[in-house]
Amino acid sequence: MRDEDRSRSLPLLDRRQFVQAAVAACGTAAPLLVAVIRLPAATAQEASGAAGYDPTDHYYGMGIDIERCIGCGRCVAACKAENDVPLDASHFNTWVERYVIDNDGEVTVDSPNGGMDGFPPPASEGGMRRTFFVPKLCNHCANPPCVQVCPVGATFSTRDGVVLVDEQYCIGCRYCIQACPYGARWFHPTKHVAAKCTLCYHRLVRGLVPACVEVCPTGARIFGEVEQRATPLARFMRMNDVQVLKPHLNTKPKVYYANLDGEVR
Amino acid sequence: MQGYIYPNEFELQWGLLIVLYPYLTGLVAGAFILASLERVFNVQEVQPTYRLALLTALAFLLVAPLPLLAHLGHPERSYEIFMTPNRKSAMAMFGFVYAWYLAVVLLLEVWFEYRKDIVQWAQAARGARRWLYQALTLGSTDLSERSLRFDDNAGRWITVIGIPSAFLLHGYVGFIFGSVKANPWWSSVLMPVVFLFSAIVSGIALVLILYMVTNLFRSRPLDMRCLDKLASFLFYAMIIDVSLEMLDFVHRLYESEESIGILSQMIQSRLFISLIVLQLVIGTLVPMVLLGMFSPALRRGGLGRGSDELRRLVYLLAAVLVEIGIFSIRWNVVVGGQLFSKSLRGLTVYKMELLGVEGLAMTIGLLALPLLILWVLVKVLPPWADVPSTTESWQERRSS
């Protein structure tokens, strides 16, 4: 009940409607714009939809600046609304973990409801040495174990570097969920197929950024091209020491963390 | 729940049905390898169980894919595993390994083994039974010396191919788990080997149980030489199996990787009953001591010098305990591998369903089904040496 109320009151829905309206308006106005300011044809197509989208022009990844994350959980809520993720506490494309390290070095991690409702004040009996939030999502690995194990090839890497699931094709064996070292996959309770973060692929092909990136109030999530130089992500990776999660497994993740603590797994 | 687990880990993905699958294929592989002892390695003592072991393997193999199918989110798409297999996926090979084993190994071997009898039964039987046997001859009714010799040779060669195939069938199931690098409880190069030897153990124990129970119902005397030999082989196979498991265990402890903390915690709490009590003590130590004492494995006549009657009881008890132990092994691998978080920071619980597609009732049904199939197979293709196979004796039996 509360969840329903919540989803209805999400400001994101309003924003989404706004974006839809804006896209529609742009669509109608696009020919006019092209005529007036003579945009290059490709850009106009990209803005108006998937028709002119060329996946070979892109290779996506995400940067996450731990220092900037305030644990508000808006990214989690936005993702659930945008991608039709069940609103319960056991299915997430993205979630936020809170690490509390006390003076004895004892580490406590929690993620109540995936961090979607924010976090209660931490219990800090031993005194706090440091604490921080870590947003998690599918790492869209360049060497993805989930893609390797899928018996029918229903999960695959796109040419633009996104790991997706074909829900018309998945047989629901759940081997991919077992193979993911990051707990990023889940089993859809009504569709009976494996599900995961798509980097909001439906938005990417329209030239938009993923919902979680769009709503982040502090800019903790930086989306963009991994291989091109003059992009926000490339700049983020130049300016920071970046790390990936569980590098020893050689999955070659494409979610890059700045200021990552060694305790994070 | 205890500690921290990733939110997507609250739901366990592989439950009882996936525990059942390696258990069933293990029984298939084990029963077949036992059968091959007689055929290829000329262990004459176990001859009375040869045909029974073959039929057991066939019955269990027919059921083995059912738990997988029932577990799939979209069973109606399962054929895609044959049509568009992902060649990089270990699991995609399942259909081919299974089909090879069923069609090329087991069905062919059973047919060559029984062909002579089937032809004779077809001649002796009347009515529907006659039609059935005639169909089973597949039109090959030649009983000349030469063709019988061909049957025998073919059977032996299929067994020779069958042994590596049985290794493949079950070792491959172990590989499905052992190759998941994300899961420190599964990821082990020893996994296929451990699976294989536990399969041999479970197969020998199962055939031993079935041989005793069926002869009890048929009120036929048990061949003690055969039972002693089975018990000895069971003991030897268990020694190898336990050694491998211990090697795996010691290796993990000694390497003491980052997962060791959470895994020890899991063994001491969540898996205490199923691993320490059921798998190790009741399923391994007790039967090994019993078999070591009473079977002729260590000393001719046994260390305990039990009477035939006592040995029979001990063997039956040991075999039943072994089956419980091997089922626990499968449980500890499959469910155990999902009880700890891949964040290595917490443990979760498995809530078993009672009814429902993946529940306890379904599992019991799928465990009983192969026995039912075996019962039918035994009716159609009696594996007993004392069943008459010639026309005259069949008619004698009918009139008596």
Q: Measure CB to CB from residue A178 to each of B7, B14, B80 and give the nearest one.
A: B14
Domain boundaries, position B102:
19-179+357-400
Q: Are B175 and B187 in contact (CB under 8 A)?
A: no
Q: Is A153 a member of any domain?
A: yes
Give A25-53 pLDDT, tens digit per residue. 555 555 444 444 444 444 444 444 567 89
A-chain CB neighbours of B96 within 8 Å are none
Which residues, including other chains, have CB under 8 Å from residue B269's CB and lie 6 or more apart?
B2, B347
Query: Which residues from chain B sit within 8 angstroms of residue A261, using beta carbons?
Result: none
Amino acid identity for residue A7 in this structure:
S
The band of A15, judged by pLDDT with boundaries at 50, 70 and 90, is low
- Residue B55 in any domain: the answer is yes
pLDDT given at position B38: 84
**Is A184 an 8 Å CB contact of chain B?**
yes
Q: pLDDT band for A22, please (50, 70, 90 cuts).
A: low
DSSP state letter for B283: I
Domain containing residue A179: CATH number: 3.30.70.20
Q: How many domains is chain A partitioned into structurally?
A: 2
Q: Which of B372, B394, B373 is nearest to B117 (CA)?
A: B394
Residue B237 belongs to some domain of the structure: no
Q: What's the CA gap between B27 and B60, in Å, rounded?
A: 7
User: Within a domain: residue B23?
Assistant: yes
Distance of residue A17 Cα from the nearest chain B Cα, in angstroms: 29
pLDDT category of residue A123 using cuts at 50, 70 and 90 = confident
Kindly report the nearest CA distance between residue B92 and chain A, in angstroms.
Answer: 4
Query: Is B357 or A113 the better-scoring residue by pLDDT?
Result: A113
Contact A171 B77 (CB under 8 A): yes
Distances in Å between the alpha carbon of B166 and those of B102, B153, B198?
A: 10, 20, 13
Please answer yes or no on whether A193 and B73 come within 8 Å at the CB atom. yes
**Are residues A172 and B73, on separate chains, in Cβ contact within 8 Å?**
yes
User: Does residue B280 lie in a domain region?
Assistant: no
A119 lies in a domain? no
pLDDT at A44: 40
Does A83 map to a domain? no
C-alpha separations of B318 from B45, B243, B285, B369 in Å: 20, 19, 10, 24
B302 part of a folded domain: no
User: How far does chain B reach from its first CA to its final CA, in angstroms?
Assistant: 66
B→A interface, C-beta within 8 Å: 3-11, 13-14, 68, 71-75, 77-78, 80-81, 84-86, 88-92, 94, 176, 180-183, 337-338, 341-345
With tokens 């926000």, the residue in question is: A232
List pLDDT tens digits, range A205-237: 999 999 999 999 999 999 999 988 889 999 999
Residue ranges of E strands in chain B = 2-3, 346-347
CA distances from A141 to A62, A162, A242 (A): 11, 8, 15
**Domain assignment of residue A203, yes or no:** no
Q: What is the DSSP letter of B340?
A: B
Residues of chain A contacting B334 with CB distance shorter than 8 Å: none
pLDDT tens track for A178-209: 999 999 999 999 999 999 999 999 999 999 99
Q: Count CB-CB contacts under 10 A for residue B184.
A: 20
Using the predicted structure, report yes or no on whether residue A262 has a pLDDT greater than 70.
yes
DSSP B221-276: ---HHHHHHHHHHHHHHHHHHHHHHHHHHHHHHHH--TTHHHHHHHHHTTTIIIII
The reply to whether residue B180 touches residue A179, judged by beta carbons under 8 angstroms, is yes
Instruction: Indicate the number of domains in chain B.
Output: 1
In a domain, A161, yes or no: yes
- Is this prediction's ipTM beyond 0.85? yes
Query: Residue A23's pLDDT is what?
Result: 58
Report the run of H or E that residue B210 belongs to, with start and end.
helix B191-217
Three-class DSSP category at A195 = strand
User: Which residue from A67, A34, A102, A84 is spatially nearest to A240, judged by alpha carbons?
Assistant: A67
Strand order in the sheet with A60-65: A221-225, A60-65, A255-258, A242-243
Q: Which residues of chain B have pLDDT under 50?
A: 389-400
Is A6 among the domain residues? Answer: yes
Inter-residue contact B278 to B286 (CB < 8 Å): no
B89: nearest CB among A108, A150, A265: A150
Look at residue A250 and tell me whether its pLDDT is greater than 90: yes
- The answer to whether residue B165 is domain-embedded is yes
Question: What is the domain extent for residue A166?
Answer: 145-195
Residue B103 in domain: yes
Separation CA B194–CA B177 (nearest Å) = 12
Q: What's the mean per-residue pLDDT of chain A?
A: 86
At residue A20, the pLDDT reads 62
With a CB cutoff of 8 Å and minimum separation 6, the contacts of B226 are B45, B46, B47, B48, B49, B211
Residues written for chain A:
265
Tell whether B66 is covered by a domain.
Answer: yes
CB contact under 8 A, A178 and B183: yes
Q: Can you say whether the dihedral through the CA atoms of B32, B38, B40, B43 is positive or negative?
A: positive
State the Cα–Cα distance between residues A215 and A70, nearest whole angstrom: 13
Asked if residue A154 lies in contact with residue A170, where contact means CB atoms within 8 angstroms, the answer is yes
- List, for residues B33-49, the tens digit of each pLDDT value: 999 988 888 899 999 99
